[in-house]
Amino acid sequence: MVRLKDTIEKTMFYGAKPITFERAKELRLNPTAAERILWETLRNKKMLGLRFKHQHPIDIFIADFYCHSLKLVIEVDGEIHNTEENKEYDDSRTAEFENYGITVLRFTNDDVLNNIEMVRDVIESECKKLMQK
C-alpha cells in the first residue's frame, strides 16, 4: 500500500533527497534582493489565488519558486548565469523540469529589481494560460 506522504513526495518533490531539502532551507534563509521582491508578489496566494513555494526541491534541483497546481517553476537568475557554462547548465536544468511536465519561466535579477510590473504581468499571463489546460 502506498502512503499519502510517499505519493506527495514523489509528485510534488519528484523524489528529492533529504540533502536537497536541507539546502533549500538554507537558501530560503538567505534570499537575494530580487528573490525577496518577487516572493512578496507571489506569497500568500497573491497571484491569482495560487500557492507558490519558495526554494522548492524538485529531484536534485531547487526551484526558486514553484506552483505545484500549475507545474510552474519561476527562476530568478543573477549575473553568474550569464557565463556560457552556466547557460548550458540552465538549459539542461530547464530540459529536466520540462521532462516532468513543468513549465519554466526565467527572469534576471535586473528584470525583477527594475521592472517588477513586467515580471508580474508575464507570470500572471502564463498562470492564466496554464489554468486553461
Q: What is the pLDDT of residue 46?
A: 97
Nearest to 61 by CA among 106, 14, 9: 14
Q: What is the pLDDT of residue 10?
A: 58
CATH number of 57's domain: 3.40.960.10
Q: What is the pLDDT of residue 81?
A: 55
- Estimate the crossing angle of helix 116-131 against helix 33-42, to 10 degrees: 50
Q: What is the mean pLDDT of each run of 10 residues along the chain (133 residues)?
A: 47 90 96 97 97 97 97 90 76 93 96 98 98 91
Q: State the Cα–Cα distance between residues 58 and 72, nearest whole angstrom.
A: 12
Domain interval for residue 87: 4-131
Tell me how many domains the chain contains: 1
> Would you state the cell numbers that stand for residue 14, as one nine-digit string?
519528484
